[in-house]
Amino acid sequence: MLSDIRKKFDVSSPEIAPRIREMESANLIYKDHSTKKYTLTTTGKIIARSFKPFYDVITLIEKNEDFWNDHDLAGIPDYLLDRLADLKECDFYVDRFENIYDSHKTFTENIQRSSMIKGVSPIFFPSYPDFFAQLAEKSVPTSLILTKDVYDIVKSEHEEKMRAYYDAKCTELYLIDSAKVAFVVTDIFFSMSLFFKSGNYDPRTDLICFDKKGIQWGNDLFEHYLSQAKKI
């Protein structure tokens, strides 16, 4: 009914009536004169199914246009860029300039609540060797993919912690030549950060998802990198 459409989109009849007539002329909707209700035609349903992913992507991008415009997306394969709408429920955590590592506190809190962890890291944070060694001691199933540069740092500066992680029965460690994305996916959340187009890593901005589609997208991204990695 027209009243339902007005209420749904919070518009007046003069605003919505011309659009309804246009959609009727384009054979996208029709009006059942007995019930006064508007219904999508077959063509309308086909277009609506195609339009929704587009709308979801626009909604995601509008949440933080700078994130998508300023960062290098080369670390995300094309088939997952095509599914970017799966991240529509995600939010962006942007650190304040006076504490650019504040997001890692949130990151750590979420990981501590997780019962399974997968991650790819092309960057090194001094707190990570201790943290992941502790997860290994707690028998939390963990799979990490490190770039060679990060692996060399951990091996030379934190050999004892790496050995504790490597020797645990619940852990897996992989090596990859390079990666243009840093992320963690667990059973409860997915968190991703990117490099700027200049090549510098952005430690201030994280995309974080807690819904099933976002977590599955993160799992699929991990599988993409796992297929290129070598187990240590």
**Same domain membership, residue 6 and residue 99:** no
DSSP 227: T
pLDDT for the residue 125: 84
Q: Give the DSSP H/E element, type plus range, for residue 92.
A: strand 91-94
- Residue 58 belongs to a domain: no
Rounded to whole angstroms, the Cα distance separating 53 from 91 reads: 18
Low-confidence ranges of the chain (pLDDT < 50): none
Total structural domains within the chain: 2
Written as one string, the DSSP assignment of 121-151 is ESS--TTHHHHHHHHHHTT--EEEEEEHHHH
pLDDT for the residue 193: 94
pLDDT for the residue 216: 98
- Please, which residues have CB within 8 angstroms of residue 18's CB and are 6 or more apart in sequence? none
- Residue 156 belongs to a domain: yes
**Same domain membership, residue 123 and residue 188:** yes
**Same domain membership, residue 34 and residue 139:** no
- Residue 190 belongs to a domain: yes
- Residue 74 belongs to a domain: yes
Range of the domain at 176: 65-231
**Same domain membership, residue 96 and residue 141:** yes
Residue 27, phi-psi category: left (phi > 0), alpha (psi -120 to 50), beta (remainder): left
pLDDT for the residue 29: 85
pLDDT for the residue 80: 97
CB under 8 Å, gap of 24 or more: what pairs does 48-52 form?
A: 52/85
**Same domain membership, residue 209 and residue 125:** yes
pLDDT for the residue 103: 53
- Residue 48 belongs to a domain: no
pLDDT for the residue 67: 93
- Residue 7 belongs to a domain: yes
pLDDT for the residue 35: 80
- Residue 51 belongs to a domain: no
What's the predicted TM-score (pTM) here?
Answer: 0.81
HEC assignment per residue over 76-91:
CCHHHHCCHHHHCCCE
- Residue 84 belongs to a domain: yes
pLDDT for the residue 2: 64
- The CATH number linked to 163 is 3.30.870.10
Rounded to whole angstroms, the Cα distance separating 192 from 123 reads: 12
